[in-house]
Amino acid sequence: MKPAVFLEFADRQRCAEQLASDLAQVLNRVLTQQARAALLLPGGSSPQVLLPQLAAQPLDWARIDLSPTDERWVAADDPRSNHRLLHAALARANCLDPRQGDSPQRAASQWQAHLLGWLPFAAVLLGMGEDGHFASLFPGMAGLAAALDQAAEPAALPAWAPSEPCQRLSLNLSMLCQTGWLGLLAFGAAKRELIERVARGEVASRELPLHALYHNGLNPLRIYWAP
């Protein structure tokens, strides 16, 4: 397995421009080989500089299936919803809402069933937190070890965050790695320091979800970082 690749940019705008271009290249390549291409993107604050750049790329968006890597268990029109963010920014894509049921358990099960039909994804881009979480897989969360097991069946699951809204939906590491291209977008010095600690394999970092992502044996990780 190839090691992770760390790509450093002078500022967030340049980082977003290059990442959008790289994602478009991957998606266009897949679309020359098959009828549709599946893309998973993060929510939160980091991708907001990326989404306008990505929307401007020359892509046949009607052939792209899109869903978040994770979702907050809030109403679909809640400003905190990842699906709402992605659908508003990339309205020409077929955007699948993870809220596929009336409870987190049913929603995760049905979301998983939809996504299994998309495999392998063309591209998966993740964000991360300064606590070392990615998607909605948080340090100390119940069931975390199983969710990070790269030998597990690809799945969606109810998840739990330490801050409101606590109830989440997330994909497990195995599902996220079922892709031709795996990326991580991170901004700021604190996140870079954490990535470097994980890359060195420091003992204190080995319990972090980010460690499992960085050192996964399924798919090499491309990290896009800017201050």
Q: Which CATH number is 15's domain given?
A: 3.40.50.1360
- Residue 162 makes CB contacts below 8 A (sequence gap 6+) with 131, 138, 140
pLDDT in tens, 5-56: 999 999 999 999 999 999 999 999 999 999 999 999 999 988 999 999 999 9
pLDDT at 34: 98
**Domain residue limits at 58:** 5-226
Q: What is the pLDDT of residue 28?
A: 98
pLDDT for res 132: 98
Give residue 148's pLDDT.
98
Query: CA 54: distance to chain centroid?
Result: 15
pLDDT at 110: 98
Phi and psi of 122, rounded to 5°? -70, -45
pLDDT of residue 1 exceeding 90: no
pLDDT at residue 153, rounded to an integer: 98
Task: Tell me what percent of the residues of the chain surpass a pLDDT of 70.
Answer: 100
Query: How confident is the model over 156-169, as pLDDT tens digits?
Result: 999 999 999 999 99
Q: Nearest Cα to 132, choosing from 182, 194, 177, 183?
A: 194
What percentage of the chain's residues is helix, strand, coil (to nearest 5)? Answer: 35, 20, 40
Task: Answer whether 138's CB lies under 8 Å from 120's CB.
Answer: no
Q: Which two tokens stand for residue 215?
A: 């050192």
Query: Residue 2 gets which letter from DSSP?
Result: P
Would you give the DSSP letter of residue 220?
A: -
Q: What is the reported pLDDT for 93?
A: 98
Task: Tell me what the pLDDT averaged over the chain comes to.
Answer: 97
Question: For position 104, what pLDDT does the model report?
Answer: 98
For residue 120, say if its preceding peptide bond is cis, omega within 30 degrees of 0.
Answer: yes
Domain total in the chain? 1
- Write the burial class of residue 35 (CB in 10 Å: 0-12 exposed, 13-18 middle, 19+ buried): exposed
Rounded to 5 degrees, φ, ψ at 49 are -80, -25
Q: Is 226 helix (H, G, I), strand (E, B) or coil?
A: strand
pLDDT at site 2: 82
- The C-alpha atoms of residue 187 and residue 9 are separated, in whole angstroms, by 10
Which of 26, 13, 129 shows the shortest CA–CA distance to 69? 129
What is the mean pLDDT of the segment spanning 120-130?
98
What is the 3-class SS of 3-15, one letter each residue? CCEEEECCCHHHH
